[in-house]
Chain A
Amino acid sequence: MNWRKLDTPFSGAIIESLRSSDAVLLSGALYVARDKAHERLCGMIARGESLPFPAEGQLIYYMGPSPAPPGKIIGAAGPTTSYRMDAFTEPLLRNGIKGVIGKGRRGADVKKMLQHHRAVYFATYGGAAAYLSKCIVQSDVIAFDDLGPEALLRLAVKDFPVLVVNDIYGGDLYEDAIRNGKRL
């Protein structure tokens, strides 16, 4: 694999340079939110409140870690299935989020939204949660502590591996896999 190293947050130029199937090692901040945290963030946006973190150019990771044992930064930390966040994606993109990371297919509406708002959908390795935890160098709860494993976290990551699934040009890694399968 030809890994390209990128720092977060993202600029528009980085987004334009990414194509589906590109392999990227991310370093910098990732904001962690899954189902319930998304519901709350979108509620805040709907009420006109400001988000608990500066969203401009940032990336959201769909994840709910296992608890950190004593002496560890975080527990297992692999991606959760992304389609459950489809209904909550548009308000976050509108507020400046430039990338989302999870696993699994997105709805047709989300793929269009990504092109419209110029943002990228990445997948990381589902079920490689112990492996991925090794790329996390810091983890802090920044909101919704009451949600337990669904709290909003800010991670600092180093060389966190992701693959571009949906780029801003309509590319789709998962659909390409099925298309190639027709030739098997």
Chain B
Amino acid sequence: MNHKKTIHTDAITQTIVDLIFQCSFTFPPEMTELLRDMRNCEELEIARGSLDILSRNAEIAAEERIPLCQDCGIVTVFLEIGQDALIEGIPLVEAVNGAVAQAYAKFYLRKSVVGDPLRRLNTGTNTPCFIHTDIVAGDTVKVTVYLKGGGSENMGALKMFRPTSGIDEILQFIENHVIEAGPNPCPPLFLGIGIGGTADAAVLNSKKAVLRGIGSIHPDPAYADLEAKIKARLNKTGVGPLGFGGISTVAAVYIKEAPTHIATLPVALNLNCHSLRYGEALL
């Protein structure tokens, strides 16, 4: 008989409230550094000025407790639940949504969720959020909170390639899409690319991809090279910070690949704005 670790839903609720607070108002130090690095690589005044304003924005947000963006996002929560963890308390879905409602009220975040896509009445709580659970080995629960605004979410894309499509065809699709989206998703982008799997798995992987860590390198050298190649190519499109022109069109490219069917080659794009807001904790 395995040892079971008990985790109360109150702890999960509190963790999610804390994570939403953290990522709504503050950037981690590596983000601050990345903004500065991009700024110093730009030659155009308009690009340098834009990146300076984004850095200043983060300082004001932290100092004065004003959200980084007025679009405080729709919330996605990823839970990696250890199979030896025992969750006690209220139903998990209620605990997670309760945390979101509590955080959005308490911290004066904008409530941007409508309860039905056609009737479009605002729920007033920013719930429901979207919860993805994975059952994993161990006795811990890993909680990841990811906030994303609607403007950049609208620029997402999925294309089902033929399995014999060459990599050049995929790169061209990515470049065309990023140029077409242009200023709309608020570049410099954190571009998540889900390759392989099924259509839904590719889209989900494009979300998970951007949560890999700022400055992280793909563990598979072939994909690491591909990420670098895509970044270099996109930064020659001219889009630049906020689409006003420059070389910082993407801040980072993250690929998450998955096994797929012999007939398919899905490619999903998650164009995350420069305000990449997520946080994780282990319980």
Q: Which A residues have a C-beta under 8 Å from some C-beta of B?
A: 1, 21, 36, 63-69, 72, 75-78, 80-81, 83, 103-105, 123, 125-131, 133-134, 148-149, 161, 163, 173-174, 176-182, 184
Contacts and interface: CB of A to CB of B under 8 A. Distances in A.
Given A66-B67, A75-B66, A149 B111 contact: yes
9 contacts: A66-B110, A103-B151, A104-B183, A130-B64, A161-B53, A163-B46, A163-B244, A174-B182, A177-B244
A77 B70 contact: yes
Given A148-B111, A149-B110, A149-B112, A103 B238 contact: no
B224 interface: no
B67 A75 contact: yes
Interface residues of B, number: 50
B108 A130 contact: no
Given A67-B108, A184-B247, A174 B183 contact: yes
A182 B179 CA distance: 12
Contacts of B237: 178, 181, 184
A131 to B, nearest CB: 4
B20 to A, nearest CB: 13
Contact of B186 (A1, A66, A103): A103
Contacts of B154: 81
Nearest to A35: B120
Q: Pick the most buried of B109, B183, B240: most chain A CB atoms within 10 A of its CB.
A: B183
A127 B69 contact: yes
A127 B54 contact: yes
Contacts of A130: 57-58, 60-61, 64, 66-68
Interface string B222-246: 0000000000000011111011111
Interface in B93-129: 108-112, 120, 122, 124
B179 to A, nearest CB: 6
Contacts of B198: none
Contact of A123 (B65, B71, B183): B183
A69 B50 CA distance: 27
Contacts of A148: 111, 122, 124
B273 A126 contact: yes
Nearest to B60: A130
